[in-house]
Amino acid sequence: MANASPLPKTRLMTQRAIAAFFDTLSQTIEPRSELNWKTPLDLTIAVVLSAQATDVSVNKVTGPLWQRCRTTTDYLELGEAGLREYIKSIGLFRNKAKAIIGLCAKLQETFDDRIPANREDLQSLPGVGRKTANVILNVVFNQPTLAVDTHIFRVANRIGLAAAKTPEAIEKILVKKIPEKHLQAAHHYLILHGRYTCKARRPLCEQCTVWKCCNYPAKSTNVTATQ
């Protein structure tokens, strides 16, 4: 039997469709982080822990951890070995424990024990890359940054919001295309849409509120299969 023909390449959405897409998501999704946090330090630690881990798994360890650690001094007193015991259920926990202790030390030594509000300084902290910095800038400091994780990267390429091979390239395209009024919340709209509707293995096209805006080649097949 001959192999099935590959799906056609996704057409890029028009600017009009992109505006409709975000207008609709803004009416159906509450733009919020699913990581638990109370202070900027909490959020920074949680985002470092979330690399290659789910928000649910991070929230399970940060609850007990934050009963012990509320300041950078608390983390430094706990130490790397002590921190590992709290976060050992998280992937890459040894590297993350080392990064968090280094991060807390640098905050005290260089930044007057405060989370910096610019990307360059954030990325100078151990364990903080561009994506993590963008999350902190967006969630803590309300800056219109876009942290492209696996969900946003998948959704953007799949539905025709953007087409690129790297997260940073997707980020640069999206910040130009997303309507300014939605840019602050777009990070959350796209992550939550990708997490709960436009899923990796089986997108829920039949439940999608932005179905008409989307150029995903297989969406009609997905809807037909569930009817």
- 131 classed as catalytic: yes
The number of helix segments (H) and strand segments (E) in the chain equals: 11, 0
pLDDT category of residue 220 using cuts at 50, 70 and 90: low
CATH code, 103:
1.10.340.30
Answer whether residue 226 is part of any domain: no
Residue 50 pLDDT exceeds 90? yes
3-state DSSP assignment of residue 28: helix
Joined together, the tokens standing for residue 209 give 């509120």
pTM above 0.85, yes or no: yes
Instruction: Convert the pLDDT of each residue in 157-173 to its tens digit.
Output: 999 999 999 999 999 99
Would you give the end-to-end CA distance of the chain in angstroms? 28
- Give the domain range for residue 190: 15-32+145-220
List helix spans (H) across 111-199: 119-123, 130-139, 150-159, 167-177, 180-196
Predicted confidence (pLDDT) per residue in 114-155, tens digit? 999 999 999 999 999 999 999 999 999 999 999 999 999 999
Per-residue pLDDT tens for 192-201? 999 999 999 9
pLDDT, position 8:
53
What is the total count of domains within the chain?
Answer: 2
pLDDT band at 3 (very low <50, low <70, confident <90, very high): very low
Q: How many CB atoms lie within 10 A of CB 68?
A: 13
3-class SS of residue 84? helix
Which one of the listed residues 42, 96, 131, 219 is annotated catalytic? 131
Domain boundary among 139, 160, 176: 139
Q: Please tell me which residue, 190 or 225, carries the higher pLDDT value.
A: 190
Q: Between vectors from CA 100 to CA 95 and to CA 103, what angle results, nearest 5°?
A: 125
**Residues 126 and 71 placed together within one structural domain of the fold:** yes
The pLDDT tens digits of the residues spanning 4-24 come to: 334 457 899 999 999 999 999
Q: Do residues 27 and 73 both lie within one domain?
A: no
- Mark whether 27 and 65 lie in a shared domain: no
Task: Examine the domain organization and report whether 155 and 118 are in the same domain.
Answer: no
Mean model confidence pLDDT for the chain: 93
Rounded Cα distance, 167 and 213, in Å: 22
Rounded to the nearest 10 degrees, the angle between the axes of helix 150-159 and helix 167-177 is: 60
Whether 8 is covered by a domain: the verdict is no
CATH number where 198 lies: 1.10.1670.10
Last residue of a domain, one of 95, 110, 139: 139
Q: pLDDT at position 226, please?
A: 46
Q: Is 121 a catalytic residue?
A: no
Catalytic residue among 23, 149, 177, 212: 149
129 in a structural domain: yes
Of 139, 156, 190, the position where a domain reaches its end is 139
